């Protein structure tokens, strides 16, 4: 829902959605992959809360991009992203999130509601920085990581790929 809202508030219209089950809360037609054509934009509205789910989500994005679909970054209008930050294809930054100068948000990564990614930090492809989590300056978060809600990644830390940082913890311990 948050991604759909971010898109709508930014003026984008939902052309349709792909889901094996009908979604009565979405205002658009249910489609299948065959309806997509190269050049069309896709936005992933699914998330993930562990490295395996995040890997599957990133694989799906890669499949669509490999078939020629565009994957624009999505930024909720109530988020703040520095002009000096870089958002890769399919990145999502939700309401009240902050992305500081020289930060890089990888392909398909999620910076969720109220999360903060400080200066000179990078969030790996397909990673998820959960609501209220803080990644402090000069950190490297590998691909497919889950930084749990309210967690704090301490300055200059490196989080290896496919790591789960539990909610309300600090990393490294």
Element (H, E) at 20: none
The parts of the chain modelled with pLDDT lower than 50 are: none
Dihedral, CA of residue 116, residue 119, residue 123 and residue 128, to nearest 10:
0
Q: Where are the beta strands (DSSP E) in the chain?
A: 17-18, 30-31, 74-75, 80-81, 86-87, 92-93, 98-99, 104-105, 110-111, 116-117, 122-123, 128-129, 134-135, 140-141, 146-147, 152-153, 158-159, 164-165, 170-171
What DSSP character marks residue 34?
A: G
Q: Kindly give, in sequence order, each residue whose CB lies less than 8 Å from that of residue 115, ignoring residues fewer than 6 positions away.
A: 94, 97, 98, 129, 130, 131, 132, 133, 134, 135, 147
- The whole-model pTM stands at 0.94
pLDDT of residue 35: 78
Q: State residue 148's pLDDT score.
A: 98
pLDDT at 151: 98
**129: three-class secondary structure by DSSP:** strand
The conformation of residue 154, written as its DSSP 8-state character, comes to P
Report the C-alpha gap between 164 and 149 in whole angstroms.
11
Catalytic residue annotation? 119
Selection from 96, 13, 65, 101 nearest residue 111 by Cα: 96
Domains of the chain as residue ranges with CATH: 1-168 (2.160.10.10)
Which tens digits make up the pLDDT trace of 128-155? Answer: 999 999 999 999 999 999 999 999 999 9
């Amino acid at each position: 829902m948050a991604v759909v809202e971010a898109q709508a508030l930014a003026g984008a219209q939902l052309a349709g959605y792909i889901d094996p089950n009908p979604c009565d809360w979405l205002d658009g037609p249910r489609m299948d992959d065959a309806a997509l054509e190269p050049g069309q934009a896709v936005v992933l509205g699914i998330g993930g809360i562990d490295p395996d789910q995040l890997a599957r989500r990133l694989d799906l994005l890669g499949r669509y991009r490999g078939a020629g679909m565009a994957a624009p970054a999505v930024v909720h209008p109530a988020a703040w992203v520095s002009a000096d930050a870089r958002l890769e294809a399919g990145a999502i930054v939700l309401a009240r999130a902050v992305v500081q100068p020289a930060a890089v948000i990888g392909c398909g990564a999620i910076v969720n509601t109220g999360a903060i990614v400080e200066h000179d930090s990078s969030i790996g492809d397909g990673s998820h920085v959960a609501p209220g989590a803080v990644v402090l300056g000069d950190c490297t978060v590998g691909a497919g990581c889950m930084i749990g809600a309210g967690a704090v990644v301490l300055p200059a830390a490196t989080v290896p790929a496919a790591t789960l940082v539990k909610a309300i913890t600090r990393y490294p311990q």
